[in-house]
């Protein structure tokens, strides 16, 4: 007598499920486009500063080639009479603005409040962040 080669009923169903589902699962993964790496704001913005010819401050400019709206700010510290211990005084100043897509904005860090005293503009920082969609 020959030995019987019977399978349990669930084994046939499991084999059928694997053969049916696997090609579909792989096909779904192949159809999905690869995620595009998002471009950093740092890669599409620039900052420039130029001393004014009239020697009364510094001009700042932020330029964006980004496709998204940005909220930006520039901050600096103005010090009048930086060489004097008695007359020296410092103030923090800044400028906040938005850039809608490719655009540019300019502002001046003026030393006019120092009058005829010497001045220094230092500790300059700037940043831009994408504005959340409303």
Confirm if 63 and 104 have CB atoms less than 8 A apart.
Answer: yes
Asked whether residue 73 is domain-assigned, the answer is: yes
Looking up residue 91, the CATH number of its domain turns out to be 2.60.40
Asked whether residue 116 is domain-assigned, the answer is: yes
Which residues sit opposite 46 in a β-bridge? 63
| pLDDT < 50 positions in the chain | 1-29, 34-37
Asked whether residue 12 is domain-assigned, the answer is: no
The per-residue pLDDT for 31 is: 54
Cα(16)–Cα(26) distance, rounded to whole angstroms? 16
The per-residue pLDDT for 129 is: 94
Q: Measured in whole angstroms, how far is the alpha carbon of residue 49 from the centre of its chain?
A: 20
The per-residue pLDDT for 81 is: 93
Asked whether residue 90 is domain-assigned, the answer is: yes
Range of the domain at 119: 41-130
Asked whether residue 52 is domain-assigned, the answer is: yes
Asked whether residue 18 is domain-assigned, the answer is: no
Cα(102)–Cα(70) distance, rounded to whole angstroms? 10
* Structural domains counted in the chain: 1
The per-residue pLDDT for 134 is: 64
Asked whether residue 5 is domain-assigned, the answer is: no
Strand order in the sheet with 119-130: 89-100, 69-80, 119-130
Asked whether residue 122 is domain-assigned, the answer is: yes
């Amino acid at each position: 007598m020959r030995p019987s080669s019977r399978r349990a009923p669930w084994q046939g169903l499991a084999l059928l499920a694997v053969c049916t589902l696997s090609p579909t699962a792989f096909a779904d993964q192949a159809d999905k486009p690869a995620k595009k790496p998002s471009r950093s704001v740092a890669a599409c913005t620039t900052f420039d500063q130029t001393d004014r010819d009239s020697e009364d401050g510094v001009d700042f400019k932020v330029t964006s080639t980004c496709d998204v709206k940005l909220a930006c700010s520039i901050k600096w510290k103005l010090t009048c009479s930086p060489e004097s211990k008695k007359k020296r005084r410092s103030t923090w100043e800044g400028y906040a603005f938005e850039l809608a897509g490719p655009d540019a904005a300019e502002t001046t860090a003026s030393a006019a409040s120092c009058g005829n005293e010497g001045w220094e503009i230092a500790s300059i920082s700037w940043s831009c962040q994408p504005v959340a969609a409303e």
